[in-house]
Structure 1
Amino acid sequence: MAAGCSPTFADLAVRLGFSCEEAGGLVEFRNPADLENWTLPVLEWMIVLGAVLALVHAILRLRRQGDPTNLVLWFGATAFLFVIEPPIYFPATFGTEEYLGTMFAHNVFTVDFLWGRLPLYIVAIYPLMATLAFELVRMLGVFRRYGVFLGAVCVGFVHHAFYEIFDQLGPQLRWWEWTLDNKVNLPFFDAVPLPSVVVFAALWPMSLALCVQFFVGRHVDAGRAFSGLQLVWRTVVIGLTASIGVFVLPLPATVGGLGSDTVRGVLYAAELVAVTVVAIPLLARQWSALRRGTATGPAYSNDFVRYYAIVYIVVMGALWASALPDFFAATDGVTANGDPIGNLWYTIGCFAVAIATVAASFTVPRPADTPAPEPQSVAAPA
């Protein structure tokens, strides 16, 4: 079999419509018209375009305003990806087979890496989604008023809403397929493992945001300048530390739920509830204070995030609309094509949170971008 093509992965690949043994090479290109269905290239290019534009915006922000936070966030998210994903794709190679096994398989897209394991859009979705969530919270001034930790909790909450719109739809449209009997995936929340709903949708962006704001963002807000070398090592540390956070934050569910899927599910849900009950009042209170003029306004305005968040919501809404006929015709949670369906009511709630957050960013004071304070004549020590 090709490049660690385990029997489980091979079976998932067949169900997704491609051959594991024929998925070739470090990089592979395909005709978009030959993919499993038309939604795959639409999703792919919406995400890839957004990530590229986010990177361009981050570079321009650094050059024009001297603020490297967006750039560190973008590359920190990418560094996190390359720490977390390879052991999941190749558990036998990384010695994680006994614990992780084969958790899922992505379908093949226009551009794929690592023998069909890693679509380009997955590389892109980490920095794009992190940028949307972080910047929406930052534009509302949450970090400046409530500090690093509570701001990070709000980022995790907002990211969760945007991500679950995508996560709840993917299995039905064959963007990926989960291994149903893998213990790491249990318990399931309809078509999606509850660990994915909590850890990858809320806790990892919370961990990333905390690290970015702690190592860079709060210092930039205070007027500190960084040299290129300082930014490089901080970005590497952010990627590594955020990865550790993904193992630490779910520990209550990981340890407390040993031996019981039900207990593990309850503990995962409790962590998500905790994030939610903290984030909603803070975001609402800050938005209200900004509207009344009783809180310090945001340090800058990010129109790219405002408008691309709308693009994301509209495109995902159209993709969901295309899936609804098969969704409503499904029997026992499975469509006529044999694909599992996500939770529509939960998704509607996530759409509502995403739309409300974006709307809030349009309805608060929007100061024009202003240059950061003049850099100190001597670079701050590393």
Structure 2
Amino acid sequence: MDHTCGAAAERLAEGLGYSCHGTEPVVDLRDPFGLENGTMPVLELLVIGGAVFALVHAWRRWRRDGDPANIALWFASVVYLAVIEPPLYFPEWFGLEQHVGFIFSHNVFTVQFMFDRLPLYIVAFYPALSQLAYELVRVLGVFARRGPLAGAVAVAFACQVFYEIFDHLGPQLKWWAWNTGNETINQPTLASVPMNSMLLFASVSFGAMTYLVVRLTGGTDGPRTLTGPRIGWRAAVAGAATPLAMIIASAPSGAFRGEDLLGVQRAVLGAELAVVWAAGLWLLADAWRAARAEPSPVASPGFARIYPALYLGVHVVLWLVALPAYFAAADGVTEQGTPIGSLWYVVPCAAAAAALIAAAVRASGARRTAEPVRS
């Protein structure tokens, strides 16, 4: 047993179809057509392409429009990943084995880093999703009308609905596997997905990071002219500080740790998720009303019109591919031995994601209609 492949990591890796022994410490490459299943290269293309698209868009927002928030958020997302992910993969290296334990293991994709623990698409996922959610909320005018705090809450909601469509599908398709033996962190669950992950990783992290970035790059006073180094340190601070917000948000449910208190934890986490949904739906409804009354205060760029719809559409197709095995599952496990997510939660998430996209299109359409025709 080597220092990168403990008993729990070995068990999860074997279940996913690979070995965590003898892995490359820096980077490893595989044939995209030889992965565990055909959904994996599709996911990689969607997410990595989205991150590149988001970077190009963020650069244009900074250099052409003078707004550094997008580019700062993109890099803050990468800093956040660099801070939060290594302790999750190797808790024993950071003295966290007794506190958090081994939580999950990714499957191996085309490009892998850190002893095969970190797929390239995960590196790309954070900036792609943060930019997706931020741009939808920005185009809806929430930041302009309601300020950075309300805007960050709306981003937390947008990330919740887009993230959980992905989160509840991954374990069934062997994109990753949760360590069910880790009851401290991975319980309680909604189907196969830990509720702590649903709240902290899918909403709190993105909302907090967005708030910090917006405040550090100008807030509601409009964009500042910031140089690259000034954007860099602001992005680093925002990304590195984001886990602190997650620790604070985990305190209410963390106060009720223990097998005999799982019901209380479930109720607390459910209530916190309900707050995210209630606030997000209210802000979405407010954006719909505002779009009817007046054009959006900001223009809708190509990224906001294209990538959110593409992300949702591809995930809908992937869900359709997974549904036969999903409905044939017994006791939450497919015939292939993989756990299923919660379709009843994914359906409202998909509906809310579609509503966000439609609202953004409507708002930008109202703006174009209201703009005078230039000769």
Q: TM-score, normalised by structure 1?
A: 0.92
What is the deviation of 1:287?
2.0
Residues 54 and 338 (structure 1 numbering): CA distance in 2 closer, same or farther, change over 3 Å? same
Structure with the higher helix share, 1 or 2: 2
Residues 180 and 61 (structure 1 numbering): CA distance in 2 closer, same or farther, change over 3 Å? same
Q: How many residues align?
A: 366
What is the deviation of 1:216?
1.3
Q: 1:270 is aligned with what amino acid?
A: A
Give 1:87-102 correspondences, 5 Å limit: 87-102=87-102
Q: Cα deviations across residues 244-288 of structure 1 (Å, max 9, x unaligned)?
A: 111112221122446622211211111111111112112211221
What secondary structure, in the 3-state scheme, does the structure 2 residue paired with 1:108 have? coil
Counterpart contact for 2:4–2:20, Cα < 8 Å: no
Counterpart contact for 2:217–2:223, Cα < 8 Å: no
| Alignment correspondent of 2:7 | 7
| Alignment correspondent of 1:240 | 240
What is the deviation of 1:225?
1.9
What is the deviation of 1:298?
2.6
- C-alpha distance in 1, partners of 2:140/2:274? 22
What is the deviation of 1:340?
0.5
| Alignment correspondent of 1:20 | 20
Q: Cα deviations across residues 328-359 of structure 1 (Å, max 9, x unaligned)?
A: 11111110111110111111111101011001
What is the deviation of 1:23?
2.8
| Alignment correspondent of 2:159 | 159
Q: 2:45 is aligned with what amino acid?
A: W
Q: 1:61 is aligned with what amino acid?
A: R
- C-alpha distance in 1, partners of 2:63/2:227? 13
What secondary structure, in the 3-state scheme, does the structure 2 residue paired with 1:300 have? coil
What secondary structure, in the 3-state scheme, does the structure 1 residue paired with 2:341 have? coil
- C-alpha distance in 2, partners of 1:366/1:66? 23
Give 1:64-213 correspondences, 5 Å limit: 64-182=64-182, 183-213=184-214
What secondary structure, in the 3-state scheme, does the structure 2 residue paired with 1:138 have? helix
What is the deviation of 1:364?
1.1
| Alignment correspondent of 1:325 | 324
Question: Is 1:265 the counterpart of 2:266 in the alignment?
Answer: yes
Q: 1:229 is aligned with what amino acid?
A: P
What secondary structure, in the 3-state scheme, does the structure 2 residue paired with 1:112 have? strand
Q: 1:304 is aligned with what amino acid?
A: F
| Alignment correspondent of 2:342 | 343
What is the deviation of 1:367?
8.4
Q: 2:314 is aligned with what amino acid?
A: V
Q: 1:307 is aligned with what amino acid?
A: I
| Alignment correspondent of 2:51 | 51
| Alignment correspondent of 2:371 | none
What secondary structure, in the 3-state scheme, does the structure 2 residue paired with 1:364 have? helix
- C-alpha distance in 1, partners of 2:366/2:298? 7
Counterpart contact for 2:299–2:364, Cα < 8 Å: no
What secondary structure, in the 3-state scheme, does the structure 1 residue paired with 2:91 have? coil
What is the deviation of 1:365?
3.6
Counterpart contact for 1:77–1:126, Cα < 8 Å: yes
What is the deviation of 1:228?
2.7
| Alignment correspondent of 1:288 | 289
Q: 1:317 is aligned with what amino acid?
A: V
Counterpart contact for 1:191–1:341, Cα < 8 Å: yes
Residues 10 and 4 (structure 1 numbering): CA distance in 2 closer, same or farther, change over 3 Å? same
Counterpart contact for 2:129–2:159, Cα < 8 Å: yes
What secondary structure, in the 3-state scheme, does the structure 2 residue paired with 1:36 have? coil
| Alignment correspondent of 2:42 | 42
- C-alpha distance in 2, partners of 1:104/1:279? 29
Q: Cα deviations across residues 4-59 of structure 1 (Å, max 9, x unaligned)?
A: 21110001000000011033231000001211110111101110010011101111
What secondary structure, in the 3-state scheme, does the structure 1 residue paired with 2:94 have? coil
- C-alpha distance in 2, partners of 1:364/1:322? 33
What secondary structure, in the 3-state scheme, does the structure 1 residue paired with 2:207 have? helix
What is the deviation of 1:147?
1.6
Counterpart contact for 1:76–1:239, Cα < 8 Å: yes
- C-alpha distance in 1, partners of 2:343/2:302? 30
Counterpart contact for 2:55–2:71, Cα < 8 Å: yes
Counterpart contact for 1:55–1:74, Cα < 8 Å: yes
Deviates further, 257-266 or 42-51? 257-266
Question: Is 1:230 the counterpart of 2:233 in the alignment?
Answer: no
| Alignment correspondent of 1:334 | 333
Q: Cα deviations across residues 299-326 of structure 1 (Å, max 9, x unaligned)?
A: 2322212211111111111110111110
Counterpart contact for 2:296–2:367, Cα < 8 Å: no
Identical pairs, percent? 44
What secondary structure, in the 3-state scheme, does the structure 1 residue paired with 2:177 have? strand
RMSD of the alignment, in Å? 1.7
Counterpart contact for 1:298–1:367, Cα < 8 Å: no
Deviates further, 74-83 or 257-266? 257-266
What is the deviation of 1:3?
4.6
Residues 188 and 300 (structure 1 numbering): CA distance in 2 closer, same or farther, change over 3 Å? same
Question: Is 1:358 the counterpart of 2:357 in the alignment?
Answer: yes
- C-alpha distance in 1, partners of 2:273/2:102? 25
- C-alpha distance in 2, partners of 1:12/1:70? 37
